[in-house]
């Protein structure tokens, strides 16, 4: 995939790029440009360093004293009731109306959530198929375990601890990772090499993907669901409140087996 992004366009959007506020398609295009442009990578490093400096310089505001909280609560208790209580008939009718509105809103939210989940899975497939380089590579000889090095890389970059999925050495090997986006959320993309030389990407995000339209799968004691997205099978598994989405250049049975058998320790 060839990027048409210019250096001027990259620098114009560098701040929102670093903040993760771009749509996934634009984010991938800018990432591809940065991968091939040393000057823009330097500019990106400055943006990251600047934000880190500001974050470290910030001082958390002091909390309000307990005495102030107590005075506020006392003042609220002394405030007289200004509206008369509704009649029983009015209350029942109002409750019924609220129930109807709530059911309609719930149905709309469920449809929206399902659409959002499908879009999130499409972002994950686009990330894998784009073949973007890793932000951090895992060499074969490392002074510390690769899982530890990758977890350390994501500290402060995402709002949750990243614990890479581990597999039997003959099945998959962690070779790198990069910071990415799934919809508007920061995510960790973990790159693996399979035993047959093919690639697998595991995306870790704190976005819950409860897709009622997806196909549930029970493998041993592990519950998964999966969708076929743009020709890629995408098994999804929840672990410690996080979503692990698997996709790659392998067949569905292989990916399901890897997703179910992966070890994730929290």
Task: Please tell me the distance from the alpha carbon of residue 202 to that of residue 217, in angstroms, as a whole number.
Answer: 18
pLDDT tens-digit series, residues 96-143:
443 344 444 434 443 444 577 788 889 999 999 988 889 988 866 656
134-261 is a CATH 3.40.50.10540 domain: no
Each residue's pLDDT tens digit, 211-254: 566 778 898 888 898 889 889 999 999 998 999 999 999 999 99
Decide: residue 175, CB within 10 A, 0-12 exposed, 13-18 middle, 19+ buried: middle
Contact yes or no for 245/256 (Cβ under 8 A): no
Neighbour count for residue 225 (Cβ, 10 Å): 19
- 30 within 8 A of 5, measured Cβ to Cβ: yes
Q: What is the mean pLDDT of the chain?
A: 79
> How far is 233 from 121, CA to CA, in rounded Å?
10
- Confidence band, pLDDT 50/70/90 cuts, at residue 1: very low
pLDDT band for position 175 (cuts 50, 70, 90): very high
Q: Where are the domains of the chain?
A: 7-56, 134-261
Q: Is the pLDDT of residue 3 over 50?
A: yes
CA distance 154 to 164: 11
Which range in 7-11, 152-156, 201-205, 226-230 is most confidently predicted, on average pLDDT? 201-205
Percentage of the chain modeled with pLDDT above 70: 72
Higher per-residue confidence, 13 vs 96: 13
- Average pLDDT (47-66) is 69
SS3 content of the chain, % helix, strand, coil (to 5): 45, 25, 30
Q: What b/e readout covers 95-125, taking b as 16+ CB neighbours within 10 angstroms?
A: eeeeeeeeeeeeeeeeeeebeebeebbbbbb
Please report the pLDDT score of residue 94 as a whole number. 45
pLDDT at 81: 53
Task: Tell me if the pTM is above 0.85.
Answer: no
Q: How many CB atoms neighbour CB 151 within 10 A?
A: 16
Q: What is the DSSP letter of 221?
A: T
């Amino acid at each position: 995939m060839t990027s048409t992004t210019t250096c001027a366009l990259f620098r114009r959007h560098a701040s929102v790029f670093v903040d993760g506020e771009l749509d996934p398609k634009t984010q991938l295009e800018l990432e591809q440009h940065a991968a091939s442009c040393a000057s823009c990578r330097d500019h990106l490093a400055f943006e990251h360093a600047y934000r880190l400096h500001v974050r470290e310089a910030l001082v958390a505001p002091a909390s309000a004293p307990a005495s102030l909280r107590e005075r506020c609560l006392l003042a609220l208790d002394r405030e007289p009731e200004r509206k008369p209580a509704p009649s029983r008939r009015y209350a029942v009718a109002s409750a019924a109306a609220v129930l109807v509105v709530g059911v309609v809103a719930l149905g709309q939210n469920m449809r929206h959530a399902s659409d959002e989940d499908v879009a999130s899975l499409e972002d994950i497939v686009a990330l894998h198929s784009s073949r973007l380089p890793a932000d951090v590579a895992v060499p074969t000889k490392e002074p510390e375990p690769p899982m530890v090095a990758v977890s350390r890389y994501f500290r402060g970059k995402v709002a949750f601890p990243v614990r890479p999925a581990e597999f039997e050495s003959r099945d998959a090997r962690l070779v790198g990772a990069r910071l990415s986006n799934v919809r508007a959320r920061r995510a960790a993309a973990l790159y693996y090499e399979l035993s047959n030389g093919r690639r697998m990407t595991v995306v870790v995000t704190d976005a819950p993907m409860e897709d009622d339209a997806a196909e549930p799968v029970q493998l041993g004691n592990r519950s998964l669901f999966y969708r076929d997205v743009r020709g890629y099978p995408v098994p999804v598994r929840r672990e410690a409140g996080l979503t692990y989405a698997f996709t790659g250049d392998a067949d569905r049975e292989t990916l399901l087996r890897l997703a179910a058998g992966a070890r994730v320790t929290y």
